[in-house]
Amino acid sequence: MNSDRIVGNSVPRKEGRDKVTGRSQYVDDMVLPNMLFGATVRSQIPRGRIKKITFGPGVSWDEFVIVSAEDIPGKNCISLIEDDQPCLASEFVNHPEEPILLLAHPNRYLLSKAVEAVSVEYDPLPAIFTIEESERRAEIIWGEDNIFKTYLIEKGDVDGVWEKAAYIVEGEYTTGAQEQLYIENNGMIATFDGTQGITVWGSLQCPYYVHNALMALCNLPAEKVRVVQKETGGAFGGKEEYPSMIAAHAALLAIKSGKPVKIIYDRMEDMAATTKRHPSRTRQRTAVSRDGKILGGEIEFTIDGGAYATLSSVVLSRGAIHAGGPYHWPSVRIRAKAVATNAPPHGAFRGFGAPQSLFAMERHMDRIAQTVGLSPVEIRRRNFLQLGQTTTTEQVVREPISLGKLLDRALDASDYHSKKQRFANHNESDTTRKGMGIAAFLHGAGFTGSGERYLSSVVGVEGCADGSVRVLVSSTEFGQGTNTVLSQIAAEALSLPYENVSMVQPDTQQVPNSGPTVASRTVMVVGKLVQSAALGIKQTLISSNLLSESYTAEEFRAACQHYVSEHGQFRSWSRYEAPDGIFWDDQKYRGEAYAAFAWAVYIAEVTVDLTTYGVSVDDFVALQEVGRVLHPLLARGQIIGGVAQGIGFSLYEKVVWQNGRMQNGQMTNYIMPTSADLPPIRVFFEELGNIYGVYGAKGIGELPMDGPAPAIVNAVEDALGIHFDSVPLLPEDIMDGLVSQFSDGGVGSRGGTR
């Protein structure tokens, strides 16, 4: 058969029909006999000591299951990287919305009244809410210095570049928090049996994260903890680590009550209590030659981690490694740190630190261009990484990438040069201003450094008694297409019809630990293992003389049926092994940070209304080199969705904080772009292949989150001639900028040299 029609073609989604017909079962659709509903009593202050808890009148408390930290059978923590975050606060609270008590009742509608009737008395302690306050250390709220993690990346002779520079360009850039805003709120159901242990079903990305957390919390061995992913309605990183907390709460209530317990957050609780994108501050100081070449520089990248460590160290790592962008730095020093504040912990969000540091890099490139007197196009062209050069971590670029050609293609697709000329005339007289902005960037696929080696992921492929094939992975589907693409890969490897392959539901008692569904790793890393395991099935049948090298689907089915009848269960396993030539030094933070990078050039066209100060994105060109596109429709959807999310990050989505609490935790006042606010998003791919990825593929899911914000803000500056170095960029920010420009005599801020 012609297997080319599988990989590279837009086959139907595996779960698509069930989703559109309503057959898909989400966690809140699941009902178990005698099930209780759970709720959480949370801190109302940012920091303090718990003095007293009072259960108020008007509630039949004897009908409720009540769980406190004293009921935890194991370690009171949500086990992750650092075991610093308690499952339930027992003596101190360190952020608003921190869980203190759990309640359960058969009637879910009585729970909100009961939560309100619980009164917690505190001795308040001073709290800190910004990166700058944390750095000043007026209050030490974590460890000895409020610092979760630091990294230092050094290359070349940074101290020697300043005297050689014709220009020294400085800038400071900030990004705000962002809510993942998945369509399905967080939810979990837990049951407990003294013999079987804990079982949880939930909306989640990483079954084995939850599994490990429950083992520590409940003091149970691995075989007595079972985690099952239900259909999951979106995640974007927001269901990476936080589901462990909800699963822990449901499990504790199930253990104490002896009954199944369901916890489903409403939108307000979900937005107020769960993780968000880390706010960031990046300071750039760059030495530049007279002809616009980067000689070297210093980058300080700082993120606000919130009250506990969670994933801040790895978000910081990726952000730091990406901070130099797709440019050649002969010398560079990158200092990165994650600091503590008394806000709910920040966590995973699509892009994972790279959107923050790349926003700074691409804004800074436009500032360098202005200083040197070059165009945004030319400054990038002169500094792009070339084949054989090294990244900031001294990883040699071995891919046959030509960023200059990517740039040229994006410029042509966007009609950049002619539009720039037309907009210059338009901006002389109209009540609107138009501009064009560029962002060039990269995104590493897979876990950083030695991460994949540490994970040692395993996948399985099974030949079934009926001759069909099943894929066994813990990689989860939450809208991005995992089930479809991994099935394509297995079908292609086995030369079978796509319909003959199915996915096993992610269940820790059924599937091996394939690593988390994060880091743009699923297709490139897990997909490669699926291919290998599938080829193991094929080779076993051939070596058993049940199949020839060339076969039909029916011959495969017959051979598989025969093998299972003779030998029983028929499974092939594949474990990750680091490719040759991939080396990473964890101490020096040097070497091959990622097996492969995806590369991109994005161009935004905007209009700024001088009456409302609003920005509309009128056209958006997204060009990316992603190795090979395995499913064109899904890949295009990933890019369009990422750009849409990036437009929200750029222009709409502002988390309003007050004393560490989100004040606009509803979809009526947390503003996100709708389809009416989005431009035509024109998606283009380059496919140069990738020796480390299955069928040449690289990661794709996070890449489109990295480029929209700087491209859009660069376009706004092009339209107005004013620096804006923070996102989200709201109408009031533009109004303030225009007022400042007017008071300065109509001259925008174009400085940055000294």
Q: What is the pLDDT of residues 326-385, one digit of tens each?
A: 999 999 999 999 999 999 999 999 999 999 999 999 999 999 999 999 999 999 999 999
Q: Report pLDDT for 741.
A: 82
Task: Check whether 647 has a pLDDT greater than 80.
Answer: yes
Q: What is the pLDDT of residue 751?
A: 33
**What confidence category does residue 1 fall into, taking pLDDT thresholds of 50, 70 and 90?**
very low
pLDDT at 2 over 70: no
Cα within 13 Å of Cα(663), Cβ side:
6
Range with the lowest mean pLDDT among 396-400, 401-405, 410-414?
A: 396-400
Give the three-class secondary structure for 607.
strand
Burial of 613 (0-12, 13-18, 19+ CB in 10 A): middle
3-state secondary structure of 400: coil
The closest alpha carbon to 627, from 683, 684, 688, 685, belongs to 688
HSE of 98, CA atoms in CB hemisphere, 13 A:
33
Locus of tokens 């479809």: 484
Mean pLDDT of 247-255: 98
pLDDT of residue 613: 97
Can you read off the two tokens belonging to residue 600?
């991109």
Q: Tell me: the pLDDT tens digits for 63-86?
A: 999 999 999 999 999 999 999 999
Share of the chain above pLDDT 70, in %: 98
Q: pLDDT at position 582, please?
A: 84
More confident of the two residues 3 and 546: 546
DSSP class of residue 231 equals B
Asked whether the beta carbons of 604 and 712 are under 8 A apart, the reply is yes
Instruction: Decide if 463 contacts 560 (C-beta within 8 A).
Output: yes
Beta bridge partners of residue 189, listed in sequence order: 201, 262
**What pLDDT is stored for residue 3 in this prediction?**
43
pLDDT tens-place string over residues 466-519: 999 999 999 999 999 999 999 999 999 999 999 999 999 999 999 999 999 999
Mean pLDDT of the chain, nearest integer: 96
Contact by Cβ (8 Å): 685, 335: no
668/654 Cα distance (integer angstroms): 13
CA dihedral (625, 628, 633, 634) positive or negative: negative
pLDDT digits (tens, 9 = 90+) for 157-168: 999 999 999 999
- What's this model's pTM, rounded to 2 decimal places? 0.96
pLDDT category of residue 745 using cuts at 50, 70 and 90: low
Which runs of E-coded beta strand occur in 541-671? Answer: 570-575, 584-585, 590-591, 596-609, 615-625, 657-658, 661-662
**How far is residue 538's CA from residue 277's CA, in Å, rounded to a whole number?**
44
Mean pLDDT for 407-422 is 98
Are 668 and 607 in contact by the 8 Å Cβ rule? The answer is no
Dihedral (CA of 644, 646, 651, 654) sign = positive
DSSP 32: -
The model's confidence at residue 747, banded by pLDDT at 50, 70 and 90, is: very low
Share of the chain above pLDDT 90, in %: 96
What is the rounded average pLDDT of the residues 262-274? 98
Q: All domains of the chain, ordered by start, with CATH?
A: 35-125+180-273 (3.30.365.10), 280-448+589-743 (3.30.365.10), 451-575 (3.30.365.10)
Query: How far out from the chain centre does Cα 243 lie?
Result: 15
Residue closest to 399 by CA, chosen among 388, 409, 410, 383? 388
Tell me: pLDDT of 401 over 80: yes
Give the model's pLDDT for residue 749. Answer: 35
**Contact by Cβ (8 Å): 100, 50:** yes
pLDDT of residue 479: 96
Contacts of 621 (CB under 8 A, 6+ apart): 410, 413, 414, 602, 603, 682, 684
For the stretch 539-570, pLDDT in tens is 999 999 999 999 999 999 999 999 999 999 99
pLDDT at 742: 76
* Distance of alpha carbon 684 from alpha carbon 703, whole angstroms: 13
Cα distance between residue 733 and residue 739, in whole Å: 10
Both tokens of residue 529? 């293992």
Joined together, the tokens standing for residue 318 give 């990726």
Please say whether the beta carbons of 365 and 325 come within 8 A. Answer: yes
pLDDT recorded at residue 752: 33
**CB proximity list for 718: less than 8 A, separation 6 or greater:** 376, 423, 435, 436, 437
Mean pLDDT calculated for residue range 184-201: 97
